[in-house]
Amino acid sequence: MITENIILNAGKRDPDAFQRIYLEFKDFVWNIALKTTGNQTHAEDVTSEVFIRLFKNIRKFEFRSSFKTYLYRVTVNTTLNYLKKENRRKTKHLNEDFKELRDCQIKHEFDEKDLADKLLSKLDINKRILIVLREIEGLSYDEIARTLNMNLGTVKTNIYRARDRLRKIYEEVKDEM
Amino acid sequence: MKCKDFNMEMINRYIDGELNPEEKIRLRNHLEKCKYCRNYIREIRDIISVVKERREVPDRVWERIKKRIHLFNRKRFVCRFIFVPAVAVAVFLFAFIFSAKKGMDISVDDYIQKQLGYLNGEPLIDSRYLEVKSEEYVVDSLLNDEL
């Protein structure tokens, strides 16, 4: 259980307080990162980036929202920024005539992934984040709306659509297997 | 064949356990007759259970975070206790030298000129100073005279 005192101490750069926060929240940050990026190396980059950002900025946390919601928001934003950068990097590589090499790597990655990763990787990023928050992290619709600054109704509709999309992807993947 | 009464919202709320008892009975009655909706619910539940699987963070992630925190703290230390004081000292020295130079109302060249002038018989004291002194002197002498 993370108390207000622990958060305040972490803000004063107390390493023990910060480690307690890491131990408490590492799994959900990791799972969001892993399921959203669909790649272990990327997930490690995102998870460490999230906790470094947290370490630098935790003193600015004003207890207006719950700490969990705040951390979810940091995680989602960091993941999205990371994926944007990664896409730019990939595009650059492709433009430099590495297309063939990249295709081989991507194919190899997909062979090693399990079904869940395969399904999620085919979902567009916005739907993927919603599914991860709802089905993997078990957030309520209300918490998701607050985390993503979205309207509650929009969150629900988008999650229903994302589930439906996953169902269709599942059908396609089953046919490929 | 797709169900003509298919209601995505109702089915999803059922999956989430958000239907009230009346809605639940209505949907269950529909499900008894509708294979499409029954399959739809089963498929969504299967997919959720597939996706739900969680994994543990490798230990090396914490090691990586600790290294980066150490680097960050070192940079902060250098910045706070070395860089900032060094800049402050530099600014102070600059300001001191600049103001000292500005405070000198005579340059080396002028000084040499004045000294040479003195050797040639010119007065060494600034004439403005002499004027002021002489005015004061006049006032003082007048006052002394009155007394």
DSSP B24-85: HHHHHHHHHH-HHHHHHHHHHHHHHHHHT---PPPHHHHHHHHHHHHHHHHHHHIIIIIIHH
Q: How far is B48 from chain A (nearest CA, A)?
A: 6
pLDDT score of B120 more than 90: no
Nearest CB neighbour to A47, from listed B40, B57, B73: B57
pLDDT of B134 over the 80 cut: no
Lowest pLDDT segment from A112-116, A161-165, B26-30: A112-116
Q: pTM value? A: 0.69
Whether residue B52 and residue A44 make contact (CB cut-off 8 A), yes or no, is no
- Model confidence band, residue A95 (pLDDT cutoffs 50, 70, 90): low
Report the alpha-carbon distance of residue B64 to residue A55 in Å, rounded. Answer: 13
Task: Check if the beta carbon of residue A27 is closer than 8 Å to that of residue A51.
Answer: no
What is the predicted pLDDT for the residue at A116? 83
Q: Do A167 and B73 touch (CB under 8 A)?
A: no
What is the pLDDT of chain A when averaged over all its residues?
Answer: 85
Quick one: closest CA in A to B64, which residue? A48
The residue among A5, A8, A143, A139 whose CA lies nearest residue A66 is A143
Would you place residue B132 in the very low, low, confident or very high pLDDT band (cuts 50, 70, 90)? low
Q: What is the mean pLDDT of residues A118-145?
A: 91
Question: What average pLDDT does this structure show over B4-13?
Answer: 90
More confident residue, A120 or A90: A120
Chain B residues with CB-CB distance to A166 below 8 A: 44, 47, 51
pLDDT band at B82 (very low <50, low <70, confident <90, very high): confident
Query: What are the distances in angstroms from CA B48 to CA A55, A170, B37?
Result: 33, 11, 17
Q: Which residue, among A61, A62, A38, A72, has the nearest Cα to A140 in the 3D structure?
A: A72
Q: Which residue of B has its CA nearest to A169?
A: B47
The pLDDT, as a whole number, for residue A107 is: 46
Cβ–Cβ below 8 Å for B48 and A160:
no
Distance CA B19, CA B12 (A): 9
Name the token pair of A126.
Answer: 């916005």
In chain B, whose CA is at the least distance from the CA of A165?
B44
> Average per-residue pLDDT in chain B?
82
Percent of chain B with pLDDT over 70: 79
State the distance between the two ends of chain B, measured CA to CA, in whole angstroms. Answer: 129
Interchain pair A170, B43: CB under 8 A: yes
Contacts of B12 (CB under 8 A, 6+ apart): A156, A159, A160, A163, B44
CA separation for the pair A29, A23 (Å, rounded): 11
The pLDDT-based confidence of A51 (bands split at 50, 70, 90) is: very high
pLDDT band of residue B124 (cuts 50, 70, 90) is low
Minimal Cβ distance to A167: which of B44, B55, B62 = B44
Q: Structure tokens of B33? A: 């007759």
Looking at residue A161, its pLDDT comes to 95
Going by pLDDT thresholds of 50, 70 and 90, the confidence category of residue A98 is very low
**Cα torsion B95, B96, B97, B98: sign:** positive
> pLDDT category, B25, cuts 50, 70, 90?
very high
pLDDT of residue A110: 44
Say which residue, A116 or A140, is predicted with more confidence. A140
**CB neighbours of A72 closer than 8 A, spacing ≥ 6?**
A28, A32, A133, A137, A139, A143, A147
